[in-house]
Chains A and B, each alone.
Chain A
Amino acid sequence: MMHGSGRRVTSEAYSRPEFAPLLDGAVSLDRKLKRLVQRYARARSRLGSSGCGKTTLLRSIAGFVLPDSGTIKVGGRDITRLPPEARETAMMFQSYALWPHMSVADNIAYGLRMRGWKKDAMAARVEEMLKLLQLQGFGPRPVTQLSGGQRQRVAMGRALAVDPHLLLLDEPMSNLDYKVRLELRHELRALQKRIGITAVYVTHDREEALTLADRIAVIDAGRIVQIGAPEQIFHQPSSAFVAGFMGADNALDLVRTENGGLATVTNGVPPEQRIRAHFRSDAARLDGAPPAEDDLVFTGTVAQSVYVGQGYRYRVRAGNADIWVHAPERVAEGTTARVIVPRAALLLFSKDSSL
């Protein structure tokens, strides 16, 4: 499992099969990582499916994983070979990793103590953090008595107290209820803006990434496949993978017609002429207003309908393709229906560009 030319990596992470893709792409990952970390003083979210290497990337920035090659720079400082304690990064762990044998205040003060702060300065800073995170009065409590949301805030306070160059967050919301998560998401964004700290936030939750980030890096199999503003990633995905990941859940093969339009693929079309088209289920519609000239129209039967709160989600069987479409009105399963996809809603990728 070792990288041919790279140096020996003893980290356990590399011996686990799910990290193999990252190992394969390690060189390109690090090259991009260098560019990535150097430049921005903005919050960034990294997005990717599980096991794609986003946590490993975060851990290599924190210094728990030694990259095979490449450099990691924070604010121009090369930290690739530094031990974790010399990196001035602060990480928020998925499990929060609060020390159960210390009080809330001791947890927050730990990093300050390591930096040799005076006692009263330390106490003042802890108080400041507790206030910032609305945890006043919680200082002397043992962390084992806190709720999930409170623990998350203590972990945040502990990381922020040392005023790190870079804040690293490893899916910090994944252990929380949906409702708490929604609230904290906005709190976190407001907090990050107020303090003006650079943060790298790992998540596999698309919505979380879109709400929190100034820039998003999408990772697939250990490679960063697209970096950009949330709007850009959402509306102009660079590949079929990113499109699918950002919720363009319908994927079809299309072919260009002689008059420049698009048509569904028939059996005789060779693969190199096919175009991969992605579109969101809510960008398509079920019958309704008549189609414009260059709209794509599929006729099929409603195979499945699911109530999703705001309207219904239908699976329409058209030819040998399944199309998901969102519609406000109720349609019985088994009825014949037309799915209309506006030309502008189609995200097109030629076959070979898709990763």
Chain B
Amino acid sequence: MATRPLALPSPFALPSPLAMLLRAAVLALLAFAIFGPLLNLLLWAFAERWYFPNKLPIEFGLTYWYRVFQPRGNALASLGTSVWIALLTVAFSLAVAIPAGYALARLKLPWRGAILLTFLLPQAVPNLPVYVNIAQVFYQIGLNGTILGVVLVHASHGLVLAVWIASAAFASVDASLEEASRNLGASPWTCFRTVTLPLATPGLIASAIFVFLESLDEFTGTYFVGVPDVTTLPLLMFNATMGGNYQISSITALLLLIPSIGFMLVVERFLKADVLAMVGR
């Protein structure tokens, strides 16, 4: 009699047809939930004509793309505004996050935990009441409808990410590396510039990217503070959707996807495990 290997249930063994069917169904549902809306977006972006009761567009074409990208179309202008606001938000957030993160990571601050939580507050409180208040205050001091106003609103969000990640990035720099630098004759500032900052840079880049994406996507705050003078891409998309122009809103949505996906790939490279382990420490 031939010896038989122990029959262990293996995940690689061929399952029964029913189990296979079930698995396929779950996977299909999942795929539909994730990719379905994106596919719909793609269809709408290239649909020339599509109305009830047709399941698919009647006519495909690039007419709306021309409309979006023509010099007179305000899509490109609002893309520019969006990117400009995002860059300013990143600059502002980093300007605060670098000193704050360093202080939180290195100095023995008495209220460390409380300070970290303070930066978290804008996320914890419901957004709308905060924005309504901000809009009112900004209106009084003339910040409503200005780029600066929108940047400040975006930064209130971005700072949480920026400060927390920056603090983690600085904390993951071994203190003895700084001591070695001071020991060999570097002043505190030179030490920071030549040792601490370069070593924290990957984490800082990651935090900058997060802030950038957060700002690019932001809608509610911009709506309350920026409208009608500042039109970002999400606002444009909102207006197009409300006006029933699904083609324009789909195309702008696709435009918004590009930096998000691109940066996500980059962030994955910069945000190392040792930095992540320090978040919130």
Q: Which residues of A contact B182 (CB under 8 A)?
A: 63-64, 83-85
Q: Is A307 an interface residue (CB 8 A)?
A: no
- Determine which of B176, B183, B198 lies in contact with A101 in the assembled complex, contact meaning CB atoms within 8 Å: B198
A64 B179 Cβ-Cβ under 8 A? yes
Known: A95-B176, A97-B177, A99-B195. A90 touches B108 (CB 8 A): no
Q: Is A62 an interface residue (CB 8 A)?
A: yes
Task: Select the stretch in B7-15, B149-157, B159-167, B184-192 that faces chain A.
Answer: B184-192
Query: In the complex the two chains form, what is the Cα distance from A159 to B183 in whole Å?
Result: 9
Query: In the complex the two chains form, what is the Cα distance from A145 to B144 in whole Å?
Result: 55
- Determine which of B176, B186, B187 lies in contact with A93 in the assembled complex, contact meaning CB atoms within 8 Å: B176
Query: In the complex the two chains form, what is the Cα distance from A89 to B180 in whole Å?
Result: 11
In the assembled complex, the CB of B9 is this many whole angstroms from the nearest CB of chain A, namely 45
Q: Is B199 an interface residue (CB 8 A)?
A: yes
A93 B179 Cβ-Cβ under 8 A? yes
Query: In the complex the two chains form, what is the Cα distance from A84 to B184 in whole Å?
Result: 8
Q: Is B81 an interface residue (CB 8 A)?
A: no
- From DSSP, what is the main secondary structure of chain B's interface residues? helix
In the assembled complex, the CB of B143 is this many whole angstroms from the nearest CB of chain A, namely 41
Q: Which residues of B contact A93 (CB under 8 A)?
A: 176, 179-180
Query: Which residues of B line the A interface, CB within 8 A?
Result: 108, 174, 176-177, 179-187, 190, 194-195, 198-199
- Chain A residues bordering chain B, tally (CB within 8 A): 26
Known: A10-B108, A93-B176. A62 touches B195 (CB 8 A): no
A91 B180 Cβ-Cβ under 8 A? yes
Q: List 10 A-B contacts (CB under 8 A).
A: A64-B179, A85-B182, A85-B184, A85-B186, A87-B183, A90-B183, A91-B180, A97-B176, A98-B180, A99-B181
Q: Which residues of A contact B194 (CB under 8 A)?
A: 110
A115 B185 Cβ-Cβ under 8 A? yes
Q: Is A172 an interface residue (CB 8 A)?
A: no
Q: Which of B177, B184, B199 has the most CB of A within 10 A?
A: B184
- Determine which of A63, A101, A114 lies in contact with B199 in the assembled complex, contact meaning CB atoms within 8 Å: A101
In the assembled complex, the CB of B192 is this many whole angstroms from the nearest CB of chain A, namely 13
A85 B185 Cβ-Cβ under 8 A? yes
B180 A114 Cβ-Cβ under 8 A? no
A84 B183 Cβ-Cβ under 8 A? yes
